[in-house]
Structure 1
Amino acid sequence: MTAQPNGPTPPLPPTETDRTLHFAGQATFGRIPRIDQVEKADIAVVGVPFDGGVSYRPGARFGGNAIREASRTLRPYNPAQDVYPFHYSQVADAGDISANPFDANEAVETIEAAADELLAGGSRLMTLGGDHTIALPLLRSVAKKHGPVAVLHFDAHLDTWDEYFGQQYTHGMPFRRAVEEGVIDTSALCHVGTRGPIYGKKDLDDDAKLGFGIVTSADVMRRGVDEIAQQLRERVGDRPLYISIDIDVLDPAHAPGTGTPEAGGMTSRELLEILRGLADCHLVSADIVEVAPAYDHAGITSVAASHAAYELITIMSKQIAPVRWGMSK
């Protein structure tokens, strides 16, 4: 993309990493400015340090800041998508949403209200979790703006169970709640990367009744990323799209730092290539969740998450730039 002559003032870009130390300076995502440093954010990167809905290993409350730290080495030009994502749209770090760590019901309400405020300001959201419980309030908020949205859910697990120990707000059920509440478009839903044992065949039957299609990690391996991306594009069409990534969609070799790892997952390369294949979809917001740095050997999980978030931001930036900043392809 190129800027038109006499166009609007360019966005405030990140600190240039070739002129500063990677390991010094502010720890915003990709060294982008804080939201209080810009007039308006087209894309707001926001953390939600909540992991009160996990059923196995805790620690995802520290995921957002671990992803920010890993993003320090991201550079301004994305050659895979041929765009400067931070230069063509105003991307800013909105800090963290402080949600009650002891009360999931209250936390869900707090996250929804904070997301409402950011979206009302004209931003799209790139949310860093936190556990997958946070997807429900984010979807509620996005649906207020766009109506029911298409959802691509990258995860080892279905996350459409009904309840756990009598609780209805946990990381294993946000998408069932979202279907019940009518905030997602049941004609355009798909899990990607699922695998591993489940409680019974009824789980799959119930999931299908909710409207989800399934692309397993084995499907990705056998059919290849280009074919999978095409299938997902056809399923989503031109609907407003929300992408939710649980980092455990990756094999533990690529993402050991997560709460519920499952063997046989996708590689980080496969995830990134599928996301790049969705570049023409109408992506309105996204999240990446379940990064638990306490289990993250050498920070490789956080690195993978930061690069996935970078690709998602790039997709949104390419869509925003022609309207917001007078760009042309």
Structure 2
Amino acid sequence: MIEATTATAASTGSTEPVGPVDSSKVPRFAGIATFARLPRLEDVGRADIAVMGVPFDSGVSYRPGARFAPAQIREASRLLRPYHPGLDVSPFAAVQVADAGDIACNPYNIPEALDAVQEGASTLLDAGSKIVTIGGDHTIALPLLREMKRRHGPVALLHFDAHLDTWDTYFGADYTHGTPFRRAFEEDLLDTEALAHAGIRGPLYSKDDLTDDARMGFGITTAMDIMNEGVPAVVQALRERIGDRPLYISIDIDCLDPAHAPGTGTPEAGGMTSRELLAILRGLAGTNIVGADVVEVAPAYDHADITAIAASHVAYELVSLMALNGRSA
């Protein structure tokens, strides 16, 4: 039985982290698709890092479908392995990582759904977990930032995206996937000395969008900047802006070019490669990452799981960065 190969903390009596199912004994395509084949949170009791799914897409303005992303990202994550050579860390052995399952969001009531996300995040944070959230659309970043503020005070924000997501409203609605960081600014959730967008590209509604964004304190590194200046220069600039402040990383998968992430709600030509995104994240090793999300994967528009595979590796990168910090603490 597959269940017999998955040890739990209770069954082993060990205080060592419980890792993923051994893929040399159980084929990757068999068994329950938790993130990276890790134990469920209820099987280990506690986790230093919890992977939380938010199957919600009621805030999207174009293509729906991100509600199916947590399941698809978990499915694609079956191929992840336990040692990260780029960061020289075995994240699942360094700390306890577990899959916390999904938040049950009301798809018909956005404020109620955001409250549910915040409550779920609060429960995990109060239990001592850091959270990597797999969404879901970008609306969910707002309740997550509310919880970051509660625990850490205003946080630095590194936002990977094709779009600014600092617009005011859509069709008179305050809470959408294009407005979370304006609401976060208005609610004083952010450290306005340490805000950065990366990967921005494509047309805007007007030049005033940039003026408004700068007023909130954001610096912009465009996709073209990444190409022209190179990853090392971009990493250096981002690290200088962030410093040692508590850092929240929010990653819209559409920061990647549609060649690397076709399955997303609002694709834009001219984006980063998945290699560039992973390299920038690795360059942030040692920063004080307190939480992160990966959002806007829309499986119905994906091809051969290209987008889900990219998202699963990005989530693994974030888990590994957090585990690296946990190991050295």
TM-score (norm 1): 0.95
RMSD: 0.8
Could you tell me which of 218, 231, 241 is aligned with 2:247?
Answer: 241
For residues 1-329 of structure 1, the aligned pairs below 5 Å read 9-323=15-329
Residue 280 of structure 1 aligns to a residue whose secondary structure is: coil
How many residues matched? 316
Structure 2 distance, partners of 1:20, 1:73, is 12
Query: Moved runs in structure 1, 4+ residues, more than 6 A?
Result: none
Instruction: Please give the alpha-carbon distance, in whole angstroms, between the structure 1 residues aligned to 2:25 and 2:198.
Output: 39
In structure 2, the residue matched to 1:5 is none
Shift in Å, 1:88: 0.6
Please tell me the residue identity of whatever aligns with 2:136: G
Tell me the secondary structure at the aligned position of residue 298 of structure 1. coil
Task: Give, in angstroms, the shift of residue 114 of structure 1.
Answer: 1.1
Q: Deviations over 1:89-123 (max 9, x none)?
A: 00000000011100111111111111111100000
Question: For residues 274 and 24 of structure 2, what CA distance do their matches in structure 1 show?
Answer: 25
Determine helix, strand or coil for the equivalent of 2:305.
helix
Q: Which amino acid aligns with 2:32?
A: Q
How far did residue 213 of structure 1 move?
0.2
Structure 2, unaligned stretches of length 5 or more?
A: 1-13
Letter in 1 for 2:242: V
Once the 2 structures are TM-superposed, how far is the Cα of residue 226 of structure 1 from its aligned partner?
1.0
CA distance in 2, matches of 1:313, 1:114: 19
For 1:122 and 1:315, locate their aligned partners in 2 and report how far apart those are by CA, in whole Å: 17
Q: Which residue identity is paired with 2:313?
A: H
- SS of the residue corresponding to residue 310 of structure 1 reads helix
8 Å Cα contact 1:17/1:73 also seen in 2:
no
Q: Which runs of 5+ in 1 are unaligned?
A: 1-7, 324-329
Cα displacement string for residues 256-278 of structure 1 (whole angstroms, at most 9, x for unaligned residues): 00000000000000000000000
**Separation in structure 2 between the aligned mates of residue 244 and residue 55 of structure 1, nearest angstrom:** 19
C-alpha distance after superposition, 1:260-319 (max 9, x if no partner): 000000000000000000011100110000000000000000000000110100000011
| Cα-to-partner distance string for 1:48-101 (whole Å, 9 max, x where unaligned) | 000000000000000111110000010000001001001110000000001110
Separation of aligned partners in 2, 1:16 and 1:267: 31
**Cα displacement (A) at 1:18:** 2.5
- Corresponding residue SS for 2:36: helix
Distance of 2:229 and 2:106 partners within structure 1:
43
Q: Percent identity?
A: 64
Equivalent AA in structure 2 for residue 97 of structure 1: I
**Alpha-carbon offset, residue 30 of structure 1:** 0.2
Deviations, residues 17-53 of structure 1 (Å, cap 9, x unaligned): 2222111111100011000011310000000000000
